Every structure is written in structure tokens, then in C-alpha cells.
Amino acid sequence: MKAHFPTLLGVTLLLIGGSMPIQAGDDSFAIARDRSIAGKRISGACLPFAQDLYSRLTKAGGEAHLVVFNWRSPAGITGTHAIVVYRDKEGRYWAMDNLQTAPLWLAGSTPAAWASFFAPRYAVEVKGHKMDPALAGQYADRSRSTETAAVRTAGLLASN
């Protein structure tokens, strides 16, 4: 029997959200909570959501991890899920999936640890992990964004 992981766990994660600390220069929480991310709040759209959020965080210069894992419930229901894990200004790891309204703090520092912490009642096996090593240790800051820099440069050139 197959079911969508977010459907089974979604309500629990929505209740955990709470308020997140937002720090000057750290845009990761705002980026992760943006409602315009592809697949946001759509059951079964975890991969398009994760790809879009990963792209936005890395364009803002932040360390981000796209983690895809298989899961199995105690009842034997199985599925695959994708999440994005990112680092904040304080070095803490947070996860977001397509059904959450707010990032979830994570323990651990590996994709396997994050998947297990994200889905504590499920057996998980990481199937894929993507990360840009050049961004290790960085938090997302839109002022460092490659797109923002290009727009600023274009504006400067146009005004001269």
C-alpha cells in the first residue's frame, strides 16, 4: 500500500512550526516560507518544491541540501519524500517540505540524521543528496544573491 508521506505527517508538522527567530541579514526563513515556491501546499509535489527552494536558497548564497529519502511506516506503508535542509546565521539546521508552513529545527549534521529527525516514526533511507560545497557554512542573504548583484550592476551601469 502506497501513500503520500506529507499526507500522513503533514498535520503534525504544521502544528510544530511555531515562530522562528529572524536575524538581520539572514533571509533563509523568509525564503523558506515564501508562498510562491513551486509545489507549496500541494500534496505529492515535494520534489518540485524542494528543487525550487534549494535553488532560491543557493542563489542567495546559503548552504542548502536537497535530501530525497524513501520511508516506511510501522504499518508497512512506503513512499518517497524530498526536503530542503538549510543553515541559518547561527549555524543551526532547519528543514522545509512542501506542506509545512514554517521550518522545522533539525538535530544532526548528515542527510541520514536529518531524514530520521524529520520523520521520527518512520524507517528512512536516503536515496539522494545535493549540496554546493562552495556554500558550506553560509546562510542565505539576498544581498549576496547572484540575481540581486546582476540587477544592482545593471542599475549602476544604466545610471552612468
Provide the residue type at 65 as one letter: H
Cα distances (angstroms) measured from residue 108 to each of 32, 117, 146? 20, 8, 29
Assess contact for 115 and 107: CB atoms under 8 A: no
Domain boundaries, the chain: 5-159
pLDDT tens string 112-126: 999 999 999 999 999
pLDDT, tens digit, 9 for 90 and up, residues 20-78:
444 557 899 999 999 999 999 999 999 999 999 999 999 999 999 999 999 999 999 99
Report the Cα–Cα distance between both ends of the chain, in Å, rounded.
Answer: 64
